[in-house]
Amino acid sequence: MAAKKLRLGLIQMAVGDDKVENVKRAVSLIKRAVENGSSLVVLPECFNSPYGLKHFPKYAESIPQGDTAKALSAAAKENKVYLIGGSIPENDNGQLYNTCTAWDPSGDLICSHRKVHLFDIDIPGGITFQESKVLKPGKSLTTFNIGEWKVGLGICYDMRFAEMARLYSKSGCNLLVYPGAFNMTTGPLHWELLTKARAIDNELYVAAVSPAQDKTADYVAFGHTMAVDPWGKVVSAAQFEEDIVYADIDLSVVEKMRQQIPILSQRRTDLYDTISKD
């Protein structure tokens, strides 16, 4: 793996009701992504479970002791790859979270990110959803390093909050990864727009990774997994079906963007700033 380059393998997988089969499918697709040169593989939000309030308690597992986490660890080690395990419902002593894990090529858990912003919305004639009825919010931002790359993690609704992405940028991130499952009301309007906005605002790469669309599901995901570069250009993208999106990303693109349009250094922090309260 060249220090300044990564090949992303973004897995837009079909998710069904059978947790064991979902995990087996994920492991198979991870292997395929690595066979096609991926050095960082990313799964979608809720890849071992249908997305929905009634499903979270049933499918929730502990991390890293649960079967899904063990399978991710083994897949990372077997394929010698960095792996972002999308997200799964996590059960921590009876408290439920929507949690993303990251694993190194030795199969060790690097970090885990609990979804900070819970999806509580009400759009008349569109969609009503209230994750806070079942889930607890995470209380911290999460980053990890792959060589010269610093990766910031968010989950789905986290992508709407520009302050979170700004803090990641301030901490030195050059890649943001959002496993997410936007729906058919918000997805067509905002999925690509938000992915591009986070990339342009912070002059970095953004990967947004969705489950494949299942029109028979209670919650229908928009799909359209994509990677966007610091200029807001879509590097590669999927449509609705199960697919692996490959994106070759280059740190020199980030560096050149930040030199040519130096908004990060030109911010008027004497007038405004974004600060962390950790």
**Using one digit for the tens of pLDDT, what is the confidence trace for 244-255?**
999 999 999 999
Is 273 contained in some domain?
A: no
Is the Cα dihedral 241, 20, 85, 179 positive or negative?
positive
Is 160 contained in some domain?
A: yes
pLDDT digits (tens, 9 = 90+) for 117-170: 998 878 787 777 889 999 999 999 999 999 999 999 999 999 999 999 999 999
DSSP 180: -
pLDDT band at 2 (very low <50, low <70, confident <90, very high): low
Is 141 contained in some domain?
A: yes
Annotated active-site residue 115? The verdict is yes
Is 272 contained in some domain?
A: no
28 in Cβ contact with 271 (< 8 Å):
no
Q: For the residues 37-60, what does the mean pLDDT come to?
A: 96
Is 82 contained in some domain?
A: yes
Annotated active-site residue 100? The verdict is no
Task: Please give the Cα distance from 62 to 29 (Å, whole number).
Answer: 23
Q: For the residues 104-119, what does the mean pLDDT come to?
A: 97
Q: For the residues 191-205, what does the mean pLDDT come to?
A: 98
Coil, strand or helix: which one is 96?
Answer: strand
Is 67 contained in some domain?
A: yes
Catalytic residue among 19, 45, 46, 90: 45
Catalytic residue among 46, 100, 156, 173: 156
Q: For the residues 169-174, what does the mean pLDDT come to?
A: 97
Give the predicted TM-score (pTM) of the model. 0.96
The total of structural domains in the chain comes to: 1
Is 276 contained in some domain?
A: no
pLDDT at 1 over 70: no
Q: How many CB atoms lie within 10 A of CB 54?
A: 9
Task: Please give the Cα distance from 83 to 199 (Å, whole number).
Answer: 21
| Closest CA relative to residue 207, chosen from 229, 184, 227, 182 | 227
CATH number at residue 37: 3.60.110.10
pLDDT at 65 over 70: yes
Annotated active-site residue 156? The verdict is yes
Looking up tokens 């069904």, which residue turns up? Answer: 16
Catalytic residue among 19, 115, 150, 196: 115
Is 52 contained in some domain?
A: yes
- Give the phi and the psi of residue 216 in degrees, each rounded to 5: -90, -5
Question: Could you list the residue range(s) of the whole structural domain that residue 132 is in?
Answer: 5-265
